[in-house]
């Protein structure tokens, strides 16, 4: 079964404590990306990756890092989380401009 | 820049009513167009897509036609069910470029009452 998985699904943490949200896909897609969803602001792209070792900034990359060492995995790293990073995060993967699939989401609260 | 405008919600319908959610877009080149659906507490699911002008995407009774002349991609369903209650997002990926970023509309909340 084609899947995009994210972990954890829910996380409450404190300001400054480094965290990683994992994303994994089993569809052998080259393209992966991260979005955050906020009320009133909609969905905004954080980072994307065209292939292994190829990543680039999206619209709101500040405070985030990513890595792409394997095709199937694309973790999102918050080195020093702040309350304004409280959000719902989605990983997406796909064949590019023809279709993209989203993970189930990670709800992050930073206090 | 690229943008998607969809009708403001919320939309409340009775079961078996006809649904239309309007979506218009602004984009360079020839974008691909999508409708995603988000059920409460869940992620976004791809509902349907169209990748070139005059294409009709369809799935689960929903359909939308890529109209380049009116830059529109309206979502329709002939008879909605309570289980269709969700937030619907219109989105595009612009033609060309190396970032296949989805540009989303703000979403339309649909509630279907029995």
pLDDT in tens, A59-110: 999 999 999 999 999 999 999 999 999 999 999 999 888 889 999 999 999 9
Tell me what pLDDT residue B1 has: 83
pLDDT tens by residue, B32-78: 999 999 998 889 999 999 999 999 999 999 999 999 999 999 999 99
A-chain residues near B107 (CB < 8 A): 42
Q: Which residues of A53-87 are buried (b: 16+ CB within 10 A; e: fewer)?
A: eebeebebbeebebbbeebbebbbebeebeeebbb
- Using a CB–CB cut-off of 8 Å, the residues of B that contact A are 31-32, 34, 36, 42-46, 49, 51, 89, 93-95, 98-102, 104-107
Contacts of A75 (CB under 8 A, 6+ apart): A20, A21, A22, A23, A66, A67
Tell me what pLDDT residue B99 has: 87
């Amino acid at each position: 079964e084609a899947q995009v998985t994210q972990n954890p699904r829910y996380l409450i943490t404190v300001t400054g404590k480094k965290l990683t949200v994992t994303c994994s896909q089993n569809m052998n897609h080259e393209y992966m990306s991260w979005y955050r969803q906020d009320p009133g602001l909609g969905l905004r792209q954080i980072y994307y990756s065209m292939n292994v070792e190829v990543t680039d900034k999206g619209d709101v990359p500040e405070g985030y890092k990513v890595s792409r060492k394997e095709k199937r995995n694309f973790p999102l790293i918050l080195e020093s989380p702040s309350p304004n990073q409280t959000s719902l995060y989605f990983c997406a993967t796909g064949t590019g401009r023809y279709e993209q699939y989203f993970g189930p989401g990670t709800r992050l609260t930073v206090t | 820049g690229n943008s998607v405008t969809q009708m403001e919600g919320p939309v409340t319908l009775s079961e078996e009513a006809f649904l239309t959610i309007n979506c218009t877009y602004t984009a360079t080149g020839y974008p691909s167009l999508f409708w995603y659906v988000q059920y409460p507490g869940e992620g976004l699911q791809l509902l349907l897509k169209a990748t070139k002008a005059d294409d009709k995407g369809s799935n689960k009774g929903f359909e939308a036609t890529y109209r380049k002349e009116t830059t529109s991609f309206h979502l329709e369903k002939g008879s909605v069910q309570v289980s269709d209650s969700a937030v619907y997002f219109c989105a595009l990926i612009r033609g060309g470029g190396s970032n296949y970023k989805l540009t989303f509309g703000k979403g339309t909340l649909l509630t279907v009452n029995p």
